[in-house]
Amino acid sequence: MKLYKLFLIAITLYAGAATAAQNYFSMSYIQDEGDVQGVKLAYQYALDYQIEGFEELEIYLEANVNFFEYDDPKRYDANLGLSLSPVIFYPIGSIAGNRVFAEFGIGLSLLDDTKFAGKNISTHYQFEDRIGIAMKFGDTEQHSVSLKYFHYSNAGIKKPNPGLDFISLSYSRAL
């Protein structure tokens, strides 16, 4: 079964009612510029931390697992990743009364294979950089959708360092 079908089934089963809370569970469909697709499952833990002068920021610690597959007709490859990232949400406006946020963060990721989708990424440890836009909705903002760009790189610690780039579409729900 293709990963995107698994993602759509999971969202359908998951889209029921939620209670208002600060912590979220997130599911993402991930696509690179080629034939790599993936699913990201994440837990976003709200940090009760305020920065003076930036009280409107929402700061989360996100732990996630990523399942990637390279579905080239000539060969199949898969990779598993675990990541931990601090993520900052900064409100930038609203659409139809729903708050819209810029999202960004830099974290660490551990991949199970250093050769994936025809690329040698040299190290199991990678930095996971992200930037995106999110909209929270529902009576208590218990739902969120987002579009994000991810870049995985070892920051030049070891060569080669081609990096991996992904776009993701995510749905999150308060737990």
Q: Is 113 a catalytic residue?
A: no
Q: Please tell me the pTM assigned to this model.
A: 0.83
Name the catalytic one among 153, 168, 170, 172.
153
pLDDT band per the 50, 70, 90 thresholds, residue 113: very high
Q: Is 165 a catalytic residue?
A: yes
pLDDT surpassing 60 at residue 7: no
**CA–CA separation, 151 and 165 (whole Å):** 5
What are the sequence ranges of the domains in the chain? 3-174
- 11 vs 30, more confident: 30
> For the segment 51-90, what is each residue's pLDDT rounded down to a tens digit?
888 888 999 999 999 999 988 778 888 899 999 999 999 9
Exposed, middle or buried: residue 36 (CB in 10 Å: 0-12, 13-18, 19+)? buried
**Region 18-42 average pLDDT:** 84
Architecture in CATH for domain 3-174:
Beta Barrel (2.40)
pLDDT band per the 50, 70, 90 thresholds, residue 17: very low
Residue pair 174/24 in contact (Cβ under 8 Å)? The answer is yes
Q: Is 72 a catalytic residue?
A: no
Q: Whole-number mean pLDDT of the chain? A: 88
